[in-house]
Amino acid sequence: MSQGWPVGDLRFEAGTLMNYEHIVLTYMNYEHIVLTYMNCEHIVLTYMNCEHIVLTYMNCEHRVLTSMNHEHIVLTYMNYEHIVLTYMNCEHRGLTSMNHEHIVLTYMNYEHIVLTYMNCEHIVLTYMNCEHRVLTSINHEHIVLTYMNGEHIHVALTSTNHEHMVLTSMNLEHISKNHQHA
């Protein structure tokens, strides 16, 4: 994206960008969470810098890639060739289950739990450790990102269809709500 979005600029805590192609970018700089949703191509990118979680969903090719750098877990799903790749190292446990419509990846170690669930309409990524929790739920019309830790509570609610956009940002010190309805 070359639209002047201030990624990495510490002056911005949360923001939403939307254009005619239904592109929504939500950036929260304190924990380095970036959520990108492109409606036309159905591309979803979620990046968490501290734990290096990347989730990419492309509807046209039916591909899901989940990469966690520290724990080295890779899940790749391609619908046409029905390819599923799960990588586990000596210290970690991974479970991958696939049928005609569902992919479930559950990763557990001493402190981390990652659950990824995908069907035709829903992608859910849940990450929990001792201090952090991130829940991302995506369907055809709704994107919800919720982040909570001991000091900050960030709630970014973005609902996108042809005419509506809602952004809600909240923490313990500042509460800001913006609702737009056509």
Q: What is the pLDDT of residue 116?
A: 40
Q: What is the pLDDT of residue 8?
A: 41
Neighbour count for residue 67 (Cβ, 10 Å): 16
Q: What is the pLDDT of residue 30?
A: 39
Q: How confident is the model at residue 140 (pLDDT cuts 50, 70, 90)?
A: very low
* pLDDT tens string 53-81: 344 443 333 334 444 333 333 333 333 33
Give pTM, 2 decimals: 0.17
171 alpha-carbon distance from chain centroid: 20
Q: How confident is the model at residue 158 (pLDDT cuts 50, 70, 90)?
A: very low
* pLDDT tens string 6-36: 444 333 334 343 333 333 344 433 333 444 4
Q: What is the pLDDT of residue 49?
A: 37
The overall average pLDDT reported for the chain is 38
